[in-house]
Structure 1
Amino acid sequence: RLAVLGEIAAVMAHELNNPLAAISMFNQLLAAEIDQGSPLQENVAVIQRNVDSCKRAIRELLDYAGNSSPEIGDVDIEAVLGDVAAFLRPVRQRSNVEIATEFGAQAAQVRGDEVQLRQIFVNLVLNAVQACAGRPGRVVVRSSFDGEHVVVDVSDNGSGIPPELQTRIFKPFFSTKPRGAGTGLGLSTARRIAEMHGGSVELLESSPEGTTFRVRLRLSRQLVG
């Protein structure tokens, strides 16, 4: 089923990315022609946000279907986490959410595909930022060693996940976000990538005061023994 989904996703990406790129380009040209104080600038911004949303949905579908060949190597997990925090800086600034890192797994390396491993943490941190909507937000990313594994906890002070939904959050296409605000593939993709690398992603805890997800990945052999 994933192979078929991958083929469908590849066709969708090919057929949709080119027109989306054209819409985005002409939208930017239009923005340059409109006075900065004009109310039409908000219309242009809405168009761009929707284009970005479509592109993100295509990318998430491709990620979930695994429609790319992995490039295996030794990956420095804390370097990846630093990259993720930098990558999400614009999202953090727009959302007024602080992203803090507490690293305790120096030089922790995992054998795997760096791009795929980065996607795990992008998905989790982005979910955490979005969970803080409507309140002063704080997301903390912590790393530590646990025997032959590196553990990364992603915590937020959002409103939590209702208990009746917690068993469903890793199902593909399930989302607690408003319709159109997400594809429901972020968590399922993160878990699938972790499992492909011999690891795991789990919901550690969730309450009205916040949520923590935990990622466990096996260390490279040379670090284990």
Structure 2
Amino acid sequence: MFDWITALVERTGYLGIAILMLVENVFPPIPSEVIMPVAGYSAGSGGLNLVAVIVAGSAGSVGGAYFWYLVGKRLGLARVERATARWGRWLTIEPQDIHRASAWFARNQERAVLIGRLVPTIRTLISIPAGIAHMGTPRFLAFTTVGSVLFCAALAVAGYALGSQHKLVSEWMNVGTNLFLAAIIALYLYRVVTFRRGGRRISSGRGELQGK
């Protein structure tokens, strides 16, 4: 799997990295924790430029985050909650997740967006309450970009450091990547199976909460 992803990244180049990261932020077929280290690894082995890899990955990541920001902004809290109750199983997002992210965003604002982009479990989710709260687009994009660059750079540099050790790491990276992807798929399937439609609901567009 590692060799396949490496070949894909090198064949599609920076545009491919950007597209993979954009799609990963919308619905992750391959997690960013695999995409960016592999892209960095390709740069370390001489196939790509590290700075361009980070820029491409960050651009795709920001694009995916902006998609969810627009979803939150257009739908509002009550409609987002209803949508997650109905369709959230396939994105493994429950209404309670929206409430928790919204509460954290309300307390932290810009810091929530910046820090949220650095945390794998909420990197995408934090964009929704930012949109719901109608956070200014320039501010959202600024903090999202900073967080995305830091996240992508850390992963890419980690992969880059392995680039000079191609023969040493290729075999165990194949095994490690396979195990990591298998764990991600297993976790996704578990969340789909155990998804709960229940939870708290919104009584008005202002985001007042009431028990079910």
Q: Please say whether Structure 1 and Structure 2 have the same fold, judged by a TM-score greater than 0.5.
A: no
Structure having the larger proportion of residues in helix: 2
Structure having the larger proportion of residues in strand: 1
